[in-house]
Every structure is written in C-alpha cells, then in structure tokens.
C-alpha cells in the first residue's frame, strides 16, 4: 500500500512539452500571376547609358562665357585657377595618395609622371643579395642563410648555389646590415639593395 501511495505522489514531468500540431508551419503565397496565353512579352526601351541623376539642364550664359574666358587664358594662368578657387571657396586641401607598390597600368603611370616632378622618397624596405662566397666557407654561409630565412637544409643549399641571389626581402636597414655582417663573418659577400 505504501508503494502505490508513493507512486501517486511522485509525478514525472516530461522534459519536452507535449507537441500538439506540426513543428513548423509555412504559409505559401504564390507570386505567380497567370497571363493570357496569346499575350506577347513587353519590350522596354533602355537608354544608351545609365545616368542616375537624370537629364541635366544646359549651363547658363554666364557659365558658358566663363568657360570661354578660361579656355582663352594662357596655360600658366590656367594653372593658377585651381589653387585660387580653393582659397576663395575655403575648400579642404587635397592629400596626395601614395601609389607605391600599385600597378597603375599605362594610363596611371603616364598621368602620374606628367602631373608632378617625382620627389625623392626615402627607402624603408631593403633586400639583401648574396653576391659571392668562398668555396671553403660554403657550409658556414648555408648555416647563416638558414638562420634568418627559416628554410630547410636542401632549400638553403640550393639558394646559396644560385649566387648572385636575393636571400631576404622587405626588411629594415638595421636588419639588413646585421645579416650582411653575419654573412661577411661566415666568409660570404652580401649587399643591400
């Protein structure tokens, strides 16, 4: 009797609630609109080019006259117009964008060269090139090359045997000088490029 009383008092709650109905319900609304079977498709007339701002009104007489006066100026005077307008209109100064390391193609290179005289830029990344080494010091040079290139023995040996060869690229001047000194101590000749 005690056992049946104990069973009645302990209720086991399921971990999941009772599922009543489907787990998912989807309501499909068809977007298909039936058309007449004999109807022909509509043909739209597209413009020859896309202009997001729409048709522009023609410039005023004043602007046309100003453009003609600017075109009649000497080239030296035309060069002074841009900076003068920047000062008068309080426009922000334009910053030169560095194109170092970018391929600009034929047009970009020509435009960049013609627009401004190149200024001398101080080099920050250097390459170390192994020029030659003594035959007796070949093993020492290979060990030094392995020390700073993380190459295996075979790869370092193949690299050293291809003299003259660039052994380290894109490093600072201090690192390059340190590597050159180590190779010189091992019996090789290296230069910085």
What is the distance between the alpha carbons of residues 133 and 160, in angstroms, rounded to a whole number? 9
Looking at residue 27, its pLDDT comes to 61
Residue 64 lies in a domain: yes
Number of structural domains found in the chain: 2
- CATH number for position 171: 3.30.1390.10
Looking at residue 19, its pLDDT comes to 59
**Best mean pLDDT range from 40-44, 100-104, 149-153, 179-183:** 179-183
129/180 same-domain check? yes
Residue 154 lies in a domain: yes
**Residue 188, strand partner residues:** 133
Least confident of 8-12, 40-44, 73-77, 175-179: 8-12
174/131 same-domain check? yes
% of the chain residues with pLDDT over 90: 8
Mean pLDDT of the chain: 76
Expressed as residue numbers, the domain containing 131 is 124-190
What is the distance between the alpha carbons of residues 180 and 90, in angstroms, rounded to a whole number? 52
139/184 same-domain check? yes
pLDDT beyond 80 at 10 = no
């Amino acid at each position: 009797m005690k056992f049946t009383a104990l069973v009645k008092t302990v209720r086991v709650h399921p971990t999941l609630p009772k599922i009543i109905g489907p787990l998912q319900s989807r309501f499909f609304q068809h977007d298909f609109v039936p058309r007449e079977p004999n109807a022909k498709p509509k043909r739209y007339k597209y413009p020859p080019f896309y202009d997001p701002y729409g048709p522009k009104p023609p410039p005023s007489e004043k602007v046309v006259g100003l453009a003609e006066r600017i075109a009649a100026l000497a080239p030296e005077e035309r060069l002074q117009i841009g900076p003068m307008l920047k000062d008068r209109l309080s426009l922000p100064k334009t910053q030169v964008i560095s194109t170092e390391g970018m391929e600009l193609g034929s047009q970009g290179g020509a435009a960049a060269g013609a627009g401004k005289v190149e200024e001398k830029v101080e080099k920050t990344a250097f390459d170390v090139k192994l020029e030659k080494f003594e035959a007796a010091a070949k093993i020492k040079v290979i060990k030094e090359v392995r020390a700073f290139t993380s190459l295996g023995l075979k790869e370092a040996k193949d690299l050293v045997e291809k003299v003259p060869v660039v052994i380290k690229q894109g490093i600072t001047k201090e690192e390059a000088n340190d590597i050159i000194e180590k190779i010189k101590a091992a019996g090789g000749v290296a230069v910085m490029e």
